[in-house]
Amino acid sequence: MLSFLDPDGLELVVDDRRFLVQRDNMIAFLYAFRGYANKPYIPVLRGPSGRNVLEDSPVDHVHHHGIWWGHGDVNGVDFYLEVPADGRRLGRIEHLEFTETTDALPRFGFVSKLRWMDDRDESMIDETRSVLIDFRDQSHCTLDLDSTYAAARDLSFGTTKESVLPGIRMAEVLTCVSGGHLRASTGEKGESRIFGQPAEWFDYWGERKAMYGLGDVVEGVAVFDHPSNPNHPNPVFVRAYGPNSPFQGHHFTGETSLGAGESWRYRHRVVVHYGDTEEADIAGKYRAWVKEEHDT
């Protein structure tokens, strides 16, 4: 089996803008936390083919950033777009510091503090974000995302489809419009049968050329919703052309409030895998994750 997920030789590099894992100047994972956009995000996540399974700033939606966190209406402030539109007030999400880092091959990650600031430089949300990637074997890696959002003041989250905690933009070649496939834990297939429906997980996969001309590889990206998340299993936001979110989203639930000092916690796992949904045993991996989290 051809795979570029072999953890041998991977090393961590951290500078004043990036947290990245690489081997021989080939990036396996990149978290851009300063100097790229108005929010930290993940633009690169390598698949078994050696290619990026994410799409960063595609021409149709430049504010889609691989894996990113944002919301289009927090007390009327937009933390989703990056270019002013329709008179919206634009906010920004600032990386403050890493409070913990993990550099223990094959596991790399961090815990960080972030602050959601409005256009008047006033704090709205204090976020604690944990990101941990585990290059488990040549067939798959896991990316665990865990964020707690604490309200710095009384907050109203408006009814908008631009609510992604987190949002993910799949590489175009893995999407349904490019011949890829979309499955959910319910057994349904395709956007029209999955969009807005509760699901424990969903999975995009497709065939693509491996690097260095080494032939075709089937690879995919599955997204898991943790059982402890509010409203689990959540209605999912999935599009045939690639953007998606496991977050319940206020497009589905309507306006929600969060009082000063109150907080939300959301946990998800992203699985980058070799093969299609069945070959990768995504259902089994979800069950194992739930048991693993319960046992710990």
How many angstroms separate the first and last alpha carbons of the chain?
Answer: 32
Q: Which residues pair with 238 in a beta bridge?
A: 244
Is 205 a member of any domain? yes
Is 180 a member of any domain? yes
Is 21 a member of any domain? no
Give the CA diameter of the chain: 55
Query: For the chain, how many structural domains are there in total?
Result: 1
Q: Residue 296 has what pLDDT?
A: 63
Per the listing, tokens 């639930």 go with 253
Is 4 a member of any domain? no
Is 46 a member of any domain? no
Is 81 a member of any domain? yes
Q: List the chain pLDDT tens, one digit each, 296 residues.
A: 668 999 999 999 999 999 999 999 899 999 999 988 899 999 999 999 999 999 998 888 988 999 999 999 999 999 999 887 778 899 999 999 999 999 999 999 999 999 999 999 999 999 999 999 999 999 999 999 999 999 999 999 999 999 999 999 999 999 999 999 999 999 999 999 999 999 999 999 999 999 988 889 999 999 999 999 999 999 999 999 999 999 988 988 899 999 999 999 999 999 999 999 999 999 999 999 999 876 66
* Structural domain for 104, as ranges: 68-295
Q: Residue 59 has what pLDDT?
A: 84
Q: Residue 1 has what pLDDT?
A: 64
Is 37 a member of any domain? no
Is 41 a member of any domain? no
